[in-house]
Structure 1
Amino acid sequence: MTATPLARRFLIDLTPLRHTTYRRVFVGNAFGFFGAQFTAVAVPVQMYALTKSSLWVGLLGLAGFVPMLVFSIWGGAYADAMDRRRLLLTSSVIVWLATLFLFVATVTGLVNPVLLLIALFVQTTGFAVSTPTRQSILPRLVGEADLASATTLNFTMMNAMIVFGPLAAGMLLAFAPGRGGLTVAYLFDALLFTASLWATYRLPQLPAHDSAAPAGWRSIVDGFGFLLRTPILLASFAVDLVAMVIALPRALFPQLGAERFGGDGAAVGWLYAAIAIGTVAAGLTSGWISRVRRQGLALLAAVVGWGAAVAAAGFVHQLWLVVLLLAVGGVFDLVSSVYRNIIMLEACPDELRGRVQGVRTAVVVGGPRLGDLRAGATAAAFGVTGAWVGGGVACVLLVVTLAVVVPSLVRYTKPRTVG
């Protein structure tokens, strides 16, 4: 047992799994997130196969960004104002039905680029509402004492699924290219998501607090007012937008796989998994992160590292080296994500958590979709290498500029009473 103190310092904390309801939700979400990666790979691959254009693949980012921007904010407001179990179950059913539509449209051969955009829009609408709702129920499932550990555990689990899901999807599309593989991918996602639906159905009632404000424009305005009065939150959100919108190369993976790696479906799977490989590795050894006091400086340094790793990956032509550099970027991404989450938890009171989580969801999940549009559009203008490398370099320059303009973020230090 002499290794226990060392393990507690460096390895991920599993104690939140002692809570039965949380454990059930955690397992259900693990199945759901794993299945979702099959659709996440299949949709852009199918779009590129239909259009032979990264611009169309980038438009998938726009189709996902708009509902994330709008409905995550409204979802956060309703998560503060109504029974969160009912809202989570309803929004999850919307996601499930959209996936079934993709399966039916593909198996019947009726799918086209516009239908892909519409299906993704509907699916993301349900996801936009469910995400802040799912995040806001966490304190009720594990209590305040296990909240930080449960947050890290959730983030690591999701990224583990982002590792293994795309790899499995890539192998599926390599062995069954064309409509057959895409059909199986959508069906597999729909089947696995039923585990998440079941876990949500088994949740207890989670009514709104007695003092909760009714959902509507006024409550949303109140949430934004809190953000505007909290510059440190605005700055941390801006850093995330720069990292994801300017540097994320995800929409370029199908074109890179076709042009640089001979259309190998397994190579595309590795590209989609690469960032999360680094994220998971960092998450499993994340005990040291909470001991850093200069969290604002660490956040900025991590995003600079992310941009530099992305830019370097755009230059190389060996698949293993691209994956390695993107994995290094994933390490930096986990560090920046943890510090952004810590800053939010320290600054946000419980009664505003749903609304602030809604805005954070719009930034964290919507930003990459806008990044897909940026990557696709710049690839059409400058080629895949120019779009990839240019995005990473621009990210570094913008973060350094932000550090100069907002010195309070550089000086942000963890309160001594926290942790």
Structure 2
Amino acid sequence: MFVDVVKIYVKAGDGGNGQKAFRREKYVPLGGPAGGDGGKGGDIILEVDEGLRTLLDFRYQKHFKADRGEHGRSKGQHGANAEDKIIKVPPGTVVIDDDTKEVLADLTHHGQQVVIAKGGRGGRGNMRFATPANPAPDIAEKGEPGEERYITLELKVLADVGLAGFPSVGKSTLLGTVSKAKPKIAAYHFTTLMPNLGVVDVGDGRSFVMADLPGLIEGAHLGAGLGHQFLRHIERTRIIVHVVDMSGIEGRDPYEDWIKINNELEQYNLKLMERPQIIAANKMDIPQAEENLVEFRKKVGDKYPIYPISAATGQGIQELLFAVADMLDQIPIEPLVEEVVEEERKIYKHKPKEEVEFTIRRENEIFVIESKKIEKLFKMTDFNQYDSVQRFARILRKMGVDDQLRKMGAKNGDSVRIADYEFEFVE
């Protein structure tokens, strides 16, 4: 089974909690704080494995979670960082944020990595909060929550050459003739339901990868037939070989077929019309094909090279392969998405946004505080420790939360909600 689109959930590991501890050696009076920091949570990393060809494995496992970091220990010992969770994907995988629809990464070559969710940092132990004014702090942070998100993985077949054309024009036969691929071939439309890849040996030391993709019909750019399945994969190809049935035995006009398919490519992605295109005039072994080819050349003109072939008999195949190889030699390989390499692997970074630190709104009698920064601080605060609670309240006052609540009419004893928890507003 060929699977080329899946949606998965990823959750990076939370950071380990910081430790609250004090030195208690017999001959060390007033030993001071000795709580270590928690370890960092594991990242979620996607890595390209050239041995994979589909996203089939993700149909059976759609949730991936990394381990959290170890908690800090006494005697100033830091918790160990958790191992990263590496998820293998096939080359040609595009990673899309399911909420924003932003392309996060375009994974094309073996071993390429992208950190798609970063693990939370470890909470700080009470050693880190010691000051001259407070040399023995009773404060330790909880670990930072790891990032989590839903992502969509789209597989776009990596091929140098994509075969375009209506169903049953001979694309599969051509691929089978020029390579060792064995695509399913039958005398009915949509025999090809999934991409077939074949390595083509030109014969002069050059080779390239050719893809036989599901046939197009009118309305494909709107999703008709196998439209989107086909068009997703042809985006990757460096050259389009447009296979046209020159015999017209099904009552179709070869030129009209060519116009309709190009229109579908243009409607789906205008850049596809900038892609170099070679026309393979197929089924030239059928008598009326010669006459149709003469008319076809007149209408197309000199814009695109036309090579008469017969995939069934091998006529003109070698000339076509040489032309394709020559054209590929002149086209540079360009990545779809520019990569940012950091520490020898790509790390997806959120685009910086100028966000308001917090907003407050009323739900009946409850004041609701919304802020990613405050919610993270809330999750990292141990509310069983008095000093930690005081620190949390102090930070909110510095941010201006108390003043804003008063402006909105909050009084002593009113309910305030942060995330899923409610508190009383205390003057």
Query: Radius of gyration: which is bigger?
Result: 2
Structure with bigger helix share is 1
Structure with bigger strand share is 2
TM-score of the superposed pair, with normalisation by structure 1: 0.22
TM-score of the superposed pair, with normalisation by structure 2: 0.22
